[in-house]
Amino acid sequence: MKAATISQLKEELSGLSQKEVVALCLRLAKFKKDNKELLAYLLFDAHDVEGYLKTIKNEINDAFWHLPRQNWYFYKKGLRKILRDIQKWCRHIGTKEAQVEMLLHFCQNMKDSGMPFQQHTAVNNMYITQIKKLNGLVEEVHEDLQFDYRKRLNEL
């Protein structure tokens, strides 16, 4: 079965009543957790992106606090989970500035964690990859913000 295009979906949705659209949204939210999280963001948090970013940064801090530090394998798995969550949140917000903020916070937490990740190749490569990604993302944001982000990036 072939999925419909966005324009086809938009055209079909515009012909429905408000009650039918609400029913479709609720059914979509029940179908998958990601859909429910995106719908919750759009309804409750989209008007306050700064507050949402603070909440995300607190969740990143909590996730770093609960990372297992006795085993590199589980530490690496925990870091990957945090990065997956960051990518999901970035898709929700949809701005490069928010993605830069979250990745900068991730790298800062990694640096401040006290783990000698430079000694472990896979974890060090994960850190270097995020720094490279940040360098590319900083080029795409507004010029006024680039200076601030570059300053924070150079500290890492």
pLDDT of residue 83: 96
- Both tokens assigned to 29: 């939210």
Q: Dihedral, CA atoms, 59, 126, 37, 11, nearest 10 degrees?
A: 150
State how far the Cα of 60 lies from the Cα of 109, in Å rounded to an integer.
8
> What's the N-to-C CA distance of the chain in angstroms?
48
- Give domain limits for the chain: 1-31, 33-155
pLDDT at residue 76 is higher than 90? yes
pLDDT of residue 117: 86
- The per-residue pLDDT for range 124-146, each reduced to its tens digit, is 999 999 999 999 999 988 888 88
pLDDT of residue 43: 87
Please, which pLDDT band fits residue 116 given cuts at 50, 70 and 90?
confident
State how far the Cα of 72 lies from the Cα of 155, in Å rounded to an integer.
25
- The per-residue pLDDT for range 14-41, each reduced to its tens digit, is 888 899 888 888 888 888 888 888 888 8
**Spatial contact of 67 and 79, defined as CB atoms under 8 Å apart:** yes
pLDDT of residue 89: 93
Read off the amino acid at residue 98: A
Query: What is the overall mean pLDDT for the chain?
Result: 89
